[in-house]
Amino acid sequence: MRVAITTHSRLSRRRALQLAAGGAVVATGLPASAHHGWSWAEDAQTELKGTVKSVSMAPPHPSLQVTAVDGVLWQIDLANPNQTARSGFTETSAKPGDAIVVLGNRHQDKTKMLMKAVRITVAGKTYDLYPERIKTN
């Protein structure tokens, strides 16, 4: 059985799908955009030494949980998955218990133990996540 679809119905259905898709993008994009980028981070870069507690390669960006030498637990955000992979860092590059040195920009709010890494060093291997942003060599 064939059903005729009028131009009006086709446009209405298409417009409804566009609006629904656009709403989904806006709804999911807003919380992420508040966190992504660098506006939340200090301009100065800090070096953090510690031990890897966990590694996550899940989108929107890989991250590490690192226990600093003073015992404080930090979240270390890496680059987006493609850029992290281009740096050479993979899910097997670090494991819980590994010593790590992180160079990055910490959160402007000092109560948040959050840093965006530009370079990490694990087991003597250096991964430059954002080579263009590294201020010290």
Q: What is the pLDDT of residues 108-129, one digit of tens each?
A: 999 999 999 999 999 999 999 9
Nearest residue to 105 (alpha-carbon basis) of 96, 95, 114: 114
> What is the pLDDT at residue 59?
85
* Secondary structure class of 98 (helix, strand, coil): coil
At residue 13 the predicted structure's pLDDT band, cuts being 50, 70 and 90, is: low
HSE-CB of 20 using CA atoms within 13 angstroms: 6
The predicted-structure confidence for 74-95, as pLDDT tens digits, reads as follows 999 999 999 999 999 999 999 9
In angstroms, what CA-CA distances link 96 with 20, 34, 77, 91, 108? 42, 29, 16, 11, 27
Residue 137: per-residue pLDDT: 57
pLDDT 10s digits, 47-72: 999 999 999 998 888 999 999 999 99
